[in-house]
Amino acid sequence: MQRKTESPANSIPLNCVDKCLLALDSINEPMLIHVILNLEGEIDHVKLNQAIFSAQKAHPVMRTILRSRNFKLLREIQEDLGKGVLSVADQAKLQDTDHNSYLSSWMNQPLNIKKEFPVRALLLRKNERESSLVFTFHHSAVDGLRALLFVRKVIESYNNGLSQDSESCGDIRINRKGDELLEFAHSQRSKVEHYYRKMIASLFHRFAIAALPPPTRIFHDKAGKSRELRFCFNIISPREFKQIQSKAISAGVELNHIFLAACYQAVEKWNSIHGKASNRIRVMAPVNISPKGFRYVVSNQASWFSLPTTPKDRADSAKLLRKVRADTVDETMNRIAFSLVYFFYFCSRFPLWVMRGMCLFLMITRTYVDTILFTNIGFIWPKLGSEEPAVRNIGNTKILNVTGSAPVVTPMGLSIAAGIYNRNLNLSLTYRPAMFSEEKARMFLDLYVEEIKNYQVGV
CA distance 337 to 354: 24
| SS3 (DSSP) at 400 | strand
Give the pairing type, strands 64-69 and 424-431: unpaired
pLDDT band, very low/low/confident/very high, at 3 (cuts 50, 70, 90):
very low
Q: Given this model, what pLDDT does residue 196 score?
A: 96
14 — alpha (psi -120 to 50), left (phi > 0) or beta? beta
For a pLDDT cut of 70, what percent of the chain falls above it?
A: 95
8-state DSSP, 224: -
Question: Residues 62-118: pLDDT tens digits?
Answer: 999 999 887 789 999 999 999 999 999 998 888 777 888 888 999 999 999 999 999
* Count of alpha carbons within 13 angstroms of residue 411, beta-carbon side: 23
The single-letter code of the amino acid at 309 is T
Residue 108: exposed, middle, or buried by beta-carbon count in 10 A (0-12, 13-18, 19+)? middle
Closest CA to 441 of 266, 205, 238: 266
CB neighbour list of residue 359: distance below 8 Å, 6 or more residues apart = 20, 23, 24, 26, 27, 29
Bridge partners, residue 309, by sequence: 281
Question: Residues 440-454: pLDDT tens digits?
Answer: 999 999 999 999 999
CA-to-CA separations, 63 to 114, 146, 413, in angstroms, rounded: 12, 15, 31
Question: Residues 133-192: pLDDT tens digits?
Answer: 999 999 999 999 999 999 999 999 999 865 444 444 568 888 788 899 999 999 999 999
Torsion of CA 81, 165, 407, 447, to 10 degrees: -140
Question: Residues 345-394: pLDDT tens digits?
Answer: 999 999 999 999 999 999 999 999 999 999 999 999 887 677 778 889 99
Mean pLDDT, residues 299-319: 95
Mean pLDDT, residues 223-235: 91
Residue 428 pLDDT exceeds 50: yes
Give the ranges where 1-143 is alpha helix by DSSP (H). Answer: 16-26, 45-58, 99-107
CB 437 within 8 A of CB 256: no
Q: Given this model, what pLDDT does residue 99 score?
A: 81
CB neighbour list of residue 197: distance below 8 Å, 6 or more residues apart = none
